[in-house]
Amino acid sequence: MSTVPSPSQTVGPFFHFGLTDKLSVGRIADSHAQGERIHLRCRVFDGDGTAVNDAMVEIWQANAEGKYNHPDDRQQKAVEPAFYGFGRMATAEDGSCGFQTIRPGRVPGLGHTLQAPHLNVAVFGRGMLKQLYTRIYFSGDAANSEDPVLALVSEERRMTLLAQPDSAGPGGWRFDIHLQGEQETVFFDV
């Protein structure tokens, strides 16, 4: 009996080739989609603060009106053909990947609440048996104070869920994902 992990037991350095090589999706909304255009740059770091150059980041989001492009979203709002709602990118040598999209609208929450604009994120990486789930909110958005999910996170940890404006250009945002350590991003058990 072998005790060496096989590909079915752990995610190896090969995992994202089949998922991102030809299936990368960096443009979540095309130029005809309604809403404020944004460029989101995500960076993934390990517990020592070293860039993770072989992770994969997936994003799901609502459109500018707060409607997901998914059959489970039964809101009486139209689905935009120019809005895909999903992106998947592998990280580069510096641990970064980028997405072209629009700022999402507010979506319904529990108890007739509205959630603040956010993106749902899954992070896949070498040595992780399961992906990690988190959210990206936008720093300075007034709706953050009303978000029922963000309210579940202690105030001192909420900053790990906030994208910051990026000085690289108009509509630029950056979001750092720390897998462990003092700056560890808040991950959700879903």
Q: CATH number of the domain that 84 lies in?
A: 2.60.130.10
pLDDT in tens, 56-89: 999 999 999 999 988 888 888 988 889 999 999 9
- Given a cut of 80, is residue 181 above it in pLDDT? yes
For residue 167, what pLDDT is reported?
A: 80
170 falls within a domain: yes
- Mean pLDDT of all residues belonging to the chain: 89
For residue 44, what pLDDT is reported?
A: 97
132 falls within a domain: yes
5 falls within a domain: no
Closest CA to 88 of 47, 50, 119, 48: 119
Backbone φ and ψ for 147, nearest 5 degrees, come out as: -75, 125
What residues contact residue 105 under an 8 Å CB cut-off, 6+ apart?
Answer: 35, 62, 63, 64, 65, 66, 67, 117
* Confidence grade of residue 22 (pLDDT, cut at 50, 70, 90): low
188 falls within a domain: no
For residue 25, what pLDDT is reported?
A: 86
Give me the number of domains the chain comprises. 1
Alpha carbon of 122 to those of 17, 65, 82, 133, 135: distances in Å? 17, 23, 23, 5, 9
Rounded to an integer, the average pLDDT of 23-39 is: 90
For residue 186, what pLDDT is reported?
A: 97
- Given a cut of 80, is residue 92 above it in pLDDT? yes
CA–CA separation, 90 vs 25, rounded Å?
10
Higher pLDDT, 166 or 1: 166
- The CA-based angle 187-117-102, given to 5 degrees, is 110
Sign of CA pseudo-dihedral 93, 30, 101, 177? negative
54 falls within a domain: yes
For residue 125, what pLDDT is reported?
A: 87
Three-class SS of residue 55?
Answer: coil
Report the share of the chain in percent with pLDDT over 90: 69
Find the range with the poorest average confidence among 3-12, 94-103, 180-189.
Answer: 3-12
CA–CA separation, 144 vs 114, rounded Å?
10
Which amino acid appears at position 134 of this protein? T
Range of the domain at 77: 17-178
Closest CA to 114 of 157, 78, 65: 65
* Confidence grade of residue 23 (pLDDT, cut at 50, 70, 90): low
65 falls within a domain: yes
Return the bridge partners of 86, or none. Answer: 60
183 falls within a domain: no
Residue with tokens 């500018």: 64
The pTM (predicted TM-score) of the whole model is 0.88
- 9 alpha-carbon distance from chain centroid: 25
Closest CA to 102 of 148, 52, 33: 33
* Confidence grade of residue 2 (pLDDT, cut at 50, 70, 90): low
- Given a cut of 60, is residue 11 above it in pLDDT? no
pLDDT in tens, 104-154: 999 998 888 999 999 999 999 887 888 999 999 999 999 999 999 999 999
For residue 16, what pLDDT is reported?
A: 54
